[in-house]
Amino acid sequence: MMKLAGIDVGNDSIKIALDGVREPIVVPNVVAPGYERHILQEEDSPLKALDVMVYSPRLNKNNQRYFVGLLATENEDSMELEETDNKAMSDQSLIVALTALAYAGLTNQAFGTSSYSTADEVEFMIGTGLPVRTYARFHKVFEERLLGEHEVTFLSTPQLKGRKVKVNIRRAVVSIEGAAALYQIATYDNLQVKDEELYYGCIGICEMGALTTDFPVLKRMSIDNQFSTGEQMGLANYLDPIIRDVEDQFGYRFPSRAKLVQRLKNRDFVIQRIGEGQADIKPIVDQYFSRAATRIVELIKKRWKKYPDIQCFYVIGGGAAALKPYILDAAGTIKLRFVEESELQNVYGYLKLAKSKANQASSAATAG
């Protein structure tokens, strides 16, 4: 059976939304070389220990063993993405995306995620997206990289040990980061218009990810070619110096951005130092996040000045979630809009866009 899914191939994390399933699947976009692990206590969920071999005709190196996602964030040799990586072409992103899709394909929606199907092949129609500035040149290549047959073998992963799964992507609908998010915000799950002002208006978006920030402008839900743009900058540009300063000042090293973000989400700013000392990293976080917020607000003002038709501006993406209080502070009297679960708006939008394409295809089929 073909599953319909939205997949946001984020530089920070890959998110998957399955049609009809409430909870999205989130896998940090981190990989490390895999090896035979000594397992003292098995993890309680497959997502905590994705240990895989991936075969895909699109990868440069095949049949390599990788630790993916959470398991890799614990690893010293793990790789997080850098600014120079292009997600349309990145092998790492493809490895994580295929692993996440294989897992998503096996989850049994009816019985919750603790039960897994025994299928050896999973088929998908997916909706996904690229940043504004990458889209025009790379959407075709990206689509081709995703389409077709790939294979993921789970090794020491609990509950999926030894399972070899064909991941067959039959159709991929590629749209634009931030633009898809607005579609999500402006429509209901059944794709009907929820907010006419947004759906038919001229709306500015600032979608801040880990490595890119997109500024699409949408008019009646169509992307404005002239005024939409993007920056090669994201929250990671501010997380990395925080990690560096914390290490310089306190000798405490966060092994990954993901580990730092985990703490920021829990608002836990106190780190433990060797010899029972403690240190507060909040002043360092405040310093860089205020700077990030100032930059974002300036970019928004610049865009808005260039294009005064914009009726309102949404600030979304994981960056918005992290920086919201700082951005509100920096924005002063300029009104900006935020939404809940802002880092998930793209993936929900991708799912809806795929659904809308699937509906068009099936109504064309019945009409013809």
Ligand X SMILES: Nc1ncnc2c1ncn2[C@@H]1O[C@H](COP(=O)(O)OP(=O)(O)OP(=O)(O)O)[C@@H](O)[C@H]1O
Q: Using CA atoms, how far apart are residues 329 and 109, in angstroms rounded to an integer? A: 42
- The residues, any chain, with a CB within 8 Å of residue 26's CB and separated by 6 or more, are 13, 14, 15, 16
Smallest gap from Cβ 208 to Mg ion, in A, equals 8
**Residue 67: φ, ψ to 5°:** -90, 135
Shortest Cβ 9–Mg ion spacing (Å): 8
Residue 216 to residues 2, 138, 172, 195: CA-CA distances in angstroms?
Answer: 32, 17, 21, 18
97 sits near ligand X (criterion: CB under 6 A): no
Mask: binding to ligand X, 13-52, rule CB under 6 A, as x and -? x---------------------------------------
Of residues 125 and 236, the one with the C-beta less far from ligand X:
236
Asked if 152 and 53 touch (Cβ cutoff 8 Å), the reply is yes
Report the nearest approach of ligand X to the CB of residue 120 (Å): 30
Binder among 244, 265, 273, 302 for ligand X (CB under 6 A): 265
Interface residue with ligand X, options 24, 127, 129, 319 (CB under 6 A): 319
Q: How many CB atoms lie within 10 A of CB 64?
A: 16
Q: Which is nearer to ligand X, 260 or 310 (CB)?
A: 260
Given the rule CB under 6 A, which of 43-51, 111-119, 190-198, 209-217 is the region that contacts ligand X?
209-217
- The minimum distance between CB 70 and ligand X, in angstroms, equals 13
Mark the segment that binds ligand X (CB under 6 A) among 149-157, 215-223, 276-284, 316-324.
316-324
- Distance (Å, rounded) from C-alpha 103 to C-alpha 117? 10
Q: Which two three-digit tokens encode residue 104?
A: 């998503």
Is 211 one of the binding residues for ligand X (CB under 6 A)?
A: yes
Size of site (CB under 6 A) for ligand X: 23
Query: Three-state SS string across 190-243, please?
Result: CCCECCHHHHHCEEEEEEECCCCEEECEEECCEECCCCCEEECCCCHHHHHHHH
Q: Does 317 bind ligand X (CB under 6 A)?
A: yes
